[in-house]
Structure 1
Amino acid sequence: MNMETNKIFAALLVAGIIAMLGGFISQLAMHPHELEEAAYEIEAAEDGAGGGHDGAPVETGPESIADLMASADIERGKKLSRACMACHTMDQGGESRQGPPLWGVAGRSVASIGGFAYSDAMKAHGGKWDVESLNAFLWNPKKTLSGTKMNYRGVKKPEDRAALVAYLQSLK
């Protein structure tokens, strides 16, 4: 290395040390005062309902899509399934990707594709993928099944979930 490179390296090293020392000194100089009790109380609604600013209850799960299934648009579900194809295949005999293949998922036992590394939560879940279990899982996978590996936010609109479930039911 030449002298110029050494100077630059030394300057960066000294700047880093000064920044670290500044952090340590500020920690020593500041002594936050911890309160023994809250400075003010936040009152809950008397009926026990939580909610937003308008007092509406917090959503705890998906609405049923049973009534929507009769008019669910399979073609819309097919379009919505494009988001699923980032991790799943929809083809008969399709291979596992980040997620298992979805051909025949409706009516299939949960965590039943051999050779796919399901999460412990999914293995322990049991049951079959019926309309309501697919609805709940597609609504919010992480809330419905804590510990799932599925990294997807979910489908919020009940009409979209119904269309997607109808499409998944057609894959047989």
Structure 2
Amino acid sequence: MDNRTNTIAGWVLGSMMVAVAAGIGGHMIVQPIKAEKAGYPIEAGAEEGGGAAAEADKPIAEMMAAADTAHGAEVFKKCSACHTVAQGGANGIGPNLWATVGEAIAQGKAGYAFSDALKTAGAGKKWDFEQLNSWLKSPRTYANGTKMTFAGLSSGKDRADVIAYLNSQGSNLPLPAAPAGAPAATDAKVPPAAAGANPGGKADEPVAGIGSNTTAPAAAGK
């Protein structure tokens, strides 16, 4: 090699040595901090999704024994855009819900076309307290393919109260006896506006879905 080549090689080698030395020095000055355990700490009692663990629903018989029909009438207002509940009320987006509790599922509502999904899920069954509770909790889970798009009532109390209200509208099936020490059902007077009124003149359907297929809360069965 000539002198020029040796000079260039020397500069390159020197630069590399300086870079290595700088890296070693920087590492010695700034030490990385390593966590003792991987991941993030989770607060005690918190569950995935950030919410507290949901309390399991009580048996529907126990909830029905302490149901409040007046509160059920208020909850039913969510359903009144699609369902009527007064005796002789017309079917609308969903069927009229008069005397629905105890009725055969997907039957008994003259002129109303129930979905095949509900007919299949409810074959041979009646809208008893257990079936209504399952339907109101999640119509799409109860009858996969139902036309009802209402997500359901997550509150067990709301479901029991709505069922008690529906039961008071033409069915009047005996409510389960309250367990020893538990409060009895509240059969408070239902506000006149809640009993079968349908704002805007629309026909109503089963509470949150009884027999209906809608986007509004439904009670029993689309």
Which band: TM-score by shorter chain? 0.5 to 0.7
Give CA deviations for 1:38-97 in whole Å, capped at 9, x if unaligned: xxxxxxxxxxxxx8368x9999x9653210111100000000000111111011011110
CA spacing shift, 1:163–1:58, aligned 2, 3 Å: closer
Counterpart of 2:181 in structure 1 is: none
CA distance in 1, matches of 2:131, 2:57: 10
Superposed structure 1 runs of 4+ greater than 6 Å apart: 56-59
Deviation at 1:153, TM superposition (A): 1.1
Deviations 1:139-160 (A, max 9, x none): 0101111111112111101111
SS in 1 for 2:73: helix
Aligned to 2:112: 116
Output the TM-score relative to the length of structure 2. Answer: 0.50
Amino acid across the alignment from 1:114:
A
CA contact 1:62–1:136 (8 Å) conserved in 2 = no
Moved more, 98-107 or 120-129: 120-129
Deviations 1:96-144 (A, max 9, x none): 1010111111000111112111111112222100001000000010111
Quick check: 140-149 or 71-80, which moved more?
A: 140-149
Distance 1:150-1:63 versus aligned 2 partners, 3 A rule: farther
- Structure 1 spans left out of the alignment, 5+ residues: 1-50
State yes or no: 1:105 paired with 2:100: yes
Distance 1:67 1:141 in 2: 22
| Bigger-Rg structure (1/2) | 2
* Residue matched to 1:156: 154
Amino acid at match of 2:166: L
CA distance in 1 between counterparts of 2:90 and 2:113 reads 13
TM-score, length-normalised on structure 1? 0.63
1:85 to 80, 83, 96: 80
> What code does the residue aligned with 2:168 have?
S
Distance 1:53 1:128, change over 3 A: same
1:21-170 matches, cutoff 5 A:
52=48, 64-112=59-107, 113-124=109-120, 125-126=122-123, 127-170=125-168
- Residue pair 1:78, 1:167 contacting (<8 A) in 2 also: yes
Give the number of aligned pairs. 120
Q: Which runs of 5+ in 2 are unaligned?
A: 1-46, 171-222
Aligned partner letter, 1:100: P
Q: Percent identity over the alignment? A: 41
**Match of 2:44?**
none
Counterpart CA distance in 2 for 1:119 and 1:62 is 28
